[in-house]
Amino acid sequence: MEIKKPLLSVVVPLYNEGAHLVRSLRVIVETLSRITPYYELIGVDDGSKDDTWQQLERAAEEIPGVIAIRLSRNFGKELAVCAGLENASGEAVIVMDGDLQHPPELIPEMVRLWQEEGYDIVECVKESRGKESLGKRLGVSVFYTTLDKLTGYNLKGASDFKLLDKKVLEAWMNMPERIPFFRGMTAWLGFRKVELPFHVADREVGMSRWGIFGLVRLGAEAIISFSTIPLRVVSLMGIGFFIVSLVLGINTLVQKFQGTAVTGFTTVILLLLIIGSILMISIGIVGEYIAAIYHEVKARPRYLIADKKNHPDLIEEDRELKHDHSLVTSASAH
């Protein structure tokens, strides 16, 4: 029996999405099956606290082509994407969310641009961000503007919804960073790229789990991973605190002119506020880079897989492939 390698691999990172998981995966698989019979859909459960893994196991048993991977704990979306990419075997791999905010109906056009137009990366770019709070919109805008200024990569509107050719995936896998930033890493790789605009659809169930602190942490990690400019202009990063120092300094001067300040106190407090604020910010920025170096030199695995389930047909095919390989090995030995 000839075992066909997948033409397409689709990676779907999942966290607490059991309520809609099976239905969403069926929609994606239905789209894939119209393109090619040779595909795999890799769902990665990133240490969910609900029944996501049970639902993913059920999907792997009932839906052809579904592969279920469960990480040993919650490692974060970026590392869940890494786990999926490193277990993909298709000629091209697509990364998308499991809540259908990344519309599966775009997949045929992504594949067409890859196969017929010869693009190595098909990047889906958000024309609208869907239902988001004003605070989150402003935060995202500040993050992408800052990243653009510091790294030169304009990721405004970028998403994780991408198609990568196999050679791009192989190049990406040669970047073994412990703190990955998928969007930035694919931008750094280069290759022939095309953008495909889309509107973010409404979530199937619930609300986004990305809080303000999670977004701030992701932003800090992305900037540290792709720019050393903060180290070169570290004193400028203390401007915000310096402004606070000026306000307090003016207050101190007013007290001095009013004759209510202690002799010598004015000069001392001004120097302490200005120098102290700049030093603390500088040490903090340097500390962030040292922390990133610390995580890299430990060289721990980026993630750990606790369990993996395939559709029964895939398991049988894998057994046949191993059996055929053993026969070939035995024949060559004789």
51-101: per-residue pLDDT in tens?
888 888 888 888 888 899 999 888 888 888 888 998 888 889 999 888 888
Report percent pLDDT > 70 for the chain: 67
pLDDT given at position 147: 65
Name residues whose C-beta falls within 8 Å of residue 285's C-beta, 6 or more positions apart in sequence: 230, 231, 234, 237
In a domain, 163, yes or no: yes
Catalogue the E-assigned strands of the chain: 8-14, 39-45, 66-71, 92-95, 121-128, 162-165, 193-199, 305-310
Mean pLDDT check: name the lowest of 164-178, 223-237, 265-279, 292-306: 223-237
Name residues whose C-beta falls within 8 Å of residue 189's C-beta, 6 or more positions apart in sequence: 121, 168, 171, 172
Please tell me the total number of residues recorded for the chain in this structure. Answer: 334
Mean pLDDT check: name the lowest of 115-119, 183-187, 199-203: 199-203
Q: How many CA atoms lie within 13 A of 123 on its CB side?
A: 23
**pLDDT band, residue 11 (cuts 50/70/90):** very high
In a domain, 21, yes or no: yes
Name residues whose C-beta falls within 8 Å of residue 151's C-beta, 6 or more positions apart in sequence: 184, 223, 226, 227, 229
pLDDT given at position 198: 81
Say if CB 90 and CB 5 are below 8 A apart. Answer: yes
In a domain, 2, yes or no: no
Say if CB 311 and CB 64 are below 8 A apart. Answer: yes
In a domain, 1, yes or no: no
Q: Is the pTM of this model over 0.75?
A: no
- Are 217 and 233 members of one domain? no
- Are 69 and 202 members of one domain? yes
Highest mean pLDDT among 3-7, 18-22, 251-255: 18-22
pLDDT given at position 333: 43
284-319: per-residue pLDDT in tens?
777 777 777 777 777 778 888 888 887 665 544 444
pLDDT given at position 189: 84
How many angstroms separate the CA atoms of 297 and 21, rounded? 37
- Are 12 and 149 members of one domain? yes
In a domain, 29, yes or no: yes
| Alpha helix segments (H runs only) across 9-97 | 21-35, 52-62, 77-86
In a domain, 334, yes or no: no
Which tokens belong to 304? Answer: 């750990």
How many angstroms separate the CA atoms of 180 and 221, rounded? 8
Which tokens belong to 160? Answer: 């994780």
pLDDT given at position 1: 38
- Are 44 and 77 members of one domain? yes
pLDDT given at position 93: 92
- Are 101 and 178 members of one domain? yes
In a domain, 252, yes or no: yes
241: containing domain? 229-298
The CATH number of the domain holding residue 186 is: 3.90.550.10
- Are 177 and 294 members of one domain? no
- Are 33 and 131 members of one domain? yes
The helix (H) or strand (E) run that includes residue 183 is helix 182-189
- Are 112 and 177 members of one domain? yes
- Are 54 and 116 members of one domain? yes
In a domain, 333, yes or no: no
pLDDT given at position 100: 81
Residue 268: exposure state from Cβ atoms within 10 A (0-12, 13-18, ≥19): exposed
- Three-state SS for 59? helix
Say if CB 79 and CB 305 are below 8 A apart. Answer: no
Which of the two residues, 36 and 281, has the higher pLDDT score?
36
- Are 180 and 248 members of one domain? no
32-65: per-residue pLDDT in tens?
888 888 888 999 998 888 888 888 888 888 888 8
Structural domains in the chain (count): 2
**What is the residue type of 16?**
N
**pLDDT band, residue 233 (cuts 50/70/90):** low
Alpha carbon separation from 85 to 25, 151, 196, 279 (Å, rounded) = 17, 25, 21, 41
pLDDT given at position 211: 55
How many angstroms separate the CA atoms of 160 and 219, rounded? 15
pLDDT given at position 163: 92
163-178: per-residue pLDDT in tens?
999 998 988 888 877 7
- Are 209 and 287 members of one domain? no
202-213: per-residue pLDDT in tens?
655 555 555 556
- Are 234 and 213 members of one domain? no
